[in-house]
Amino acid sequence: MGLNIIVCAKQVPDPEGPPSSFEINEAELKVTARGIPPVINPFDENALEAAMRIKESHEQVSITLISMGKGISKAVILKAVAVGADASLLVEGDSLDASLLDSFATARLLAAAVARAGGYDLVLCGRQAADTNAGLVGLGLAQLLGIPAITLAQKVDVAGDGVVVERVLPDGYEVVEAPLPALVTVSGEVGDLRYPSLQAIKAAKAIPQTVLGLADLDLDPSTLGRVRTVALAAPSRERRCKMVEGETPEEAGRNLVLALRQDKVI
Amino acid sequence: MALADYKRDMEGCSRCSSCKWVPFNQIKSWRFAKNCPSICRYNFHAYSGSGRMIIGNSILEGRSELNDSVAEIIFRCQMCGACDTACKVYRDDIDLTEVLLELRAYCIEQGELIVEHMAMIDALKREDNVLGEPKARRGEWAQGLGLKDINSETCEVLFHAGCRYSYDPDLRDTLRGQVRLMLQAGVDLGIAGAEESCCGGRAYELGYRGEAENYADDLLSRVKASGARTLVTPCADGYAHLKFLYPRMGKELGCEVLHVTQYLQRLAQQGKLRLRESVPLLVTYHDPCHLGRMGEPFLADWREDKLQRPMSLKRSGRKGIFDEPRDLLTSIPGVELTEMERIREYSWCCGAGGGVLEAWPDFALWTANERLEEAKATGAEALVTACPWCVRVFRDAAAESGLELPVYDLADLVMLSAGITETARA
C-alpha cells in the first residue's frame, strides 16, 4: 500500500531580493516586484524537502506538488518537481491573484484542488508564506479537509498508520503524533530543499502535470473572501548615528558602555 | 527604470536593420559585414535588435503575450551591444541595449525563466560564483604568491580575479602571471581570496537585477574595507559592470577601476614593467565586447527627450578600452599586429556572453568560430584577447572545429616578454 503525499507550494517574489526590488505604489495600493523572479516560498521548499526525506526512507511514496495563483511560472514549478515529485497540479487564473484572496479563500481553493488530485495520506505545507507571513492557510486547509493538523515541524516521519512530527518550541521541540491522513506545516529547521541538477530540471518536463482553472474546481467563486487593501505605505526607516568620543581608546570604550546603558541596550 | 520607460525608443525603431550590420562606412567585405550573431544565426527579424524592440512594444501594448517561445528569442542574444553601436551611428534617440536589458528583467519578473539561467543563478546564490564551483576554493589560484589578504590587511591595489579566472584551470597560469607581473613591479597588491564574490554583472544581464544589487553591495563593502585606491580586474565582464553598472545603480566604489591590460600598460609606460624578450609572432587582437564598446564609463542617465541629449552622454561604444591593449601588445618586441575587419566598437562578439554559453553552447561556439575564421583570414599566427570568457570559448571552438589558431590572453605574451615563467598556454 503506497503513501501519497501532497505538498502545497506558493510562488512568491524572491524574498532574498534587496529592499529596492519591491516597488510600493501607494496610490494604486500595490507592491510590484522589480528585477527579481518568482520562487517557491522557502517554507514550502522545506515542506517538499520533508516529503523527499520520507520518500527516501519508505517504499512506494508518491509526491504531488500543488500550486495555485495567477501567472504561475512553469520554470519554477519544473525546478521544484525535478527534485523528485511524481506529479504536479496547477490551478491558474487571473482572479487567483494571491494578494486579492484572503487566507481562508486560498485554503478553500487548495481544498478543492486536493480533491482533484486524488487520494492522499499526508498534506505538507510551509509554516507561512514569505510574502504575507500570515501562516493561516495550512490550518484552514486541514479544517476544510477534516483532518488533524500539526504545525511548525522540524522533522516529519511516517510510522504505521500515523505521522510522527518533531514540533519546534521556543526552547526545543516536542514529539507529536497524529493518525493519517493528516496535515503538517513545516518550518525552516527541516533544512533547505536539495538542488536538482540541470539535467533533472530538463527531464522534469516529462513529469505529469495537470493544469486547471477556477471553473474546474467544485466551489462557487463568488463566495471566496477577497482582500481589500485600504492603505499601503513603506515603513520609514530612520538611522541615527551618534559618535562616541574619548581621548583614549579606553575612554571611548567606557563612554560607549555608558551610552549603551543609557539607551538600555545593555 | 522599466520596459515602459523605453516605449519611445521601441516605437521609434524605423526597422532600417542597421542593427544587423557593421556601420556601413566600416564594412570591408561582404563576408564579414554582419555584426549581430543572433540575427546572423537565426535569420528572422525577431532575432535582431529591432525585432526585439518590436516584441517589447507589442507586449507593452497588449498586442502579444510573453510565452516560452518569445522569452527564448529574447534570451538567444549575447548582449554584446553591437546592435546598439550600429544603431547609434544613425540614431540619437534609441538605447537598444537598455531595451534588451529591460526585456530580460521583464521576463524574470513575469517568471518566464530560462532553466539553465535559473540553475546558474541558484549556483551563484549558493557559491557566490556563476560557475557553481565551491566558494571555499575561490582563492586557491593565489597559493604561494604572497598576496595580501584584504580580510585582515589593507592594500593599495585590490585585485578582483572574477569567477572564470578564479576557477578555470586552463587559465590559472595566465592569472598567476598577471599577478606576478604586478608584484614584480612593486605593486602593493591584495585579494579577497575565498571571500571574493561575483561582481553580479552576469546576473544583471540575465535580468536578475535584485541579485546583482546584492552582489554590488557585497563588493562595495569589501573594497571600502580594503582601503584600496585602485581596483584591478582581469575580467572584461567585471570591468564593464564596475565601470558602468555600479555607478548607475548608485554604488560608488570610491576608487579607480582599471582592467588589467590598462594597469599593465601603465606600469610599462612608467618603466616598472620591462618587456625585454622578443616574442616573434604575427597576431590579431579581438576586442572583448565588455572591455570595448560596453566598457564605457557611466556618466549620467538622460530621462528627457533623447534628441536633446548632449552627445557626451550618448553611449556610442567608442569610449571603451581599445587603445591600451593594442599599445601594450605592440610594445612587446617581436609582436606584429594585423587587424581583423570587425574591430573596436563594431567588433564581432566571441559568443560567450548574455547567458548564451550556459543555455545554448552550440550558438556560442558557432559565434566563436565565425570570429576565428575572421582572425584566420588576416594571416595571423595567433589570436590575442583580454577576457577570460573570450579565451575560453575561442579555445573550445577551435578544439571543436579543428581550426588551428592558438588563442592567447594578452597577459600571456606580456609574461613571455617580461621573463615570467608561469607556463603560458594556448
Helix/strand/coil (H, E, C) string of B1-36? CCHHHHHHHHHCCCCCCHHHECCHHHCCCCCCCECC
Domains B119-269 and B274-287+322-426 share a fold: yes
Please state, in angstroms and rounded to a whole number, the distance separating the CA atoms of residues B378 and B381: 9
Q: Which residues of A touch B105 (CB under 8 A)?
A: 34-35
Locus of grid cell 571611548: A252
Class of domain B119-269: alpha beta
- Asked if the C-beta of B118 comes within 8 angstroms of chain A's C-beta atoms, the answer is yes
Q: How far is CA B142 from CA A152, B147, B154, B219, B387, in A?
A: 46, 7, 17, 19, 19
State the nearest Cα–Cα gap between A105 and chain B, in angstroms: 24
Report pLDDT digits (tens) over B214-270.
999 999 999 999 999 999 999 999 999 999 999 999 999 999 999 999 999 999 999
Please state, in angstroms and rounded to a whole number, the distance separating the CA atoms of residues A246 and B2: 49
Report pLDDT digits (tens) over A20-50.
899 998 888 888 999 999 999 999 999 999 9
Nearest 5°: phi and psi at A37?
-90, 165
Class of domain B274-287+322-426: alpha beta
Q: Where are the beta strands (DSSP E) in A97-214?
A: 122-126, 149-159, 162-169, 172-179, 182-186, 209-212
DSSP string for B45-68: GGGSHHHHHHHHHHHHTTSS---H
Which grid coordinates are listed for B342?
570587425
Nearest CA in chain B to A39: B111
Please state, in angstroms and rounded to a whole number, the distance separating the CA atoms of residues A97 and A106: 10
How far, in whole angstroms, is CA B412 from its chain's centroid?
A: 19
pLDDT at residue B426 in the model: 46
Question: B290 near B353, Cβ under 8 Å?
Answer: yes
Of A17, A18, A35, the CB nearest to B105: A35
Please state, in angstroms and rounded to a whole number, the distance separating the CA atoms of residues A246 and A124: 57
Please state, in angstroms and rounded to a whole number, the distance separating the CA atoms of residues B347 and B88: 15
State the nearest Cα–Cα gap between A175 and chain B, in angstroms: 32
Widest pairwise Cα distance in chain B: 64
State the DSSP code for A9.
-
Give A219's contacts (C-beta < 8 A, 6+ positions apart): A108, A109, A112
The domain ranges of chain B are: 1-113, 119-269, 274-287+322-426
Other Cβ atoms less than 10 A from the Cβ of B36: the count is 26
Of A18, A78, A195, the CB nearest to B122: A195
* CB–CB contact A195 B126 (8 Å): yes
pLDDT at residue A100 in the model: 84
pLDDT at residue A1 in the model: 62
* CB–CB contact B118 A21 (8 Å): no
- Answering whether pTM is above 0.90, one says yes
pLDDT at residue B423 in the model: 53
Q: B115, B211, B357: best mutation site toward chain A, by most A Cβ within 10 Å?
A: B115
- Asked if the C-beta of A36 comes within 8 angstroms of chain B's C-beta atoms, the answer is yes
Q: Where are the beta strands (DSSP E) in B240-396?
A: 256-259, 281-285, 335-337, 382-385
- Asked if the C-beta of A134 comes within 8 angstroms of chain B's C-beta atoms, the answer is no
- Asked if the C-beta of B126 comes within 8 angstroms of chain A's C-beta atoms, the answer is yes
* CB–CB contact B217 A195 (8 Å): no
* CB–CB contact A75 B118 (8 Å): yes
- Asked if the C-beta of B125 comes within 8 angstroms of chain A's C-beta atoms, the answer is yes
Which grid coordinates are listed for B3?
520596459
**CB contact burial B211-220 (16+ within 10 A = b; e otherwise):** bbbbbbebbb
Which mean pLDDT values do the consecutive 10-residue runs of chain B (426 residues) have? 93 96 95 98 97 97 95 98 97 96 97 95 95 96 96 96 97 96 96 97 97 96 95 98 95 96 97 96 98 96 93 94 97 98 98 97 98 98 98 98 96 95 55
State the DSSP code for B130.
T
* CB–CB contact A34 B2 (8 Å): yes
Return the closest-CA partner of residue B75 out of B113, B44, B41, B118: B113
Low-confidence ranges of chain A (pLDDT < 50): none
Burial of B318 (0-12, 13-18, 19+ CB in 10 A): middle
Which grid coordinates are listed for A92?
491558474
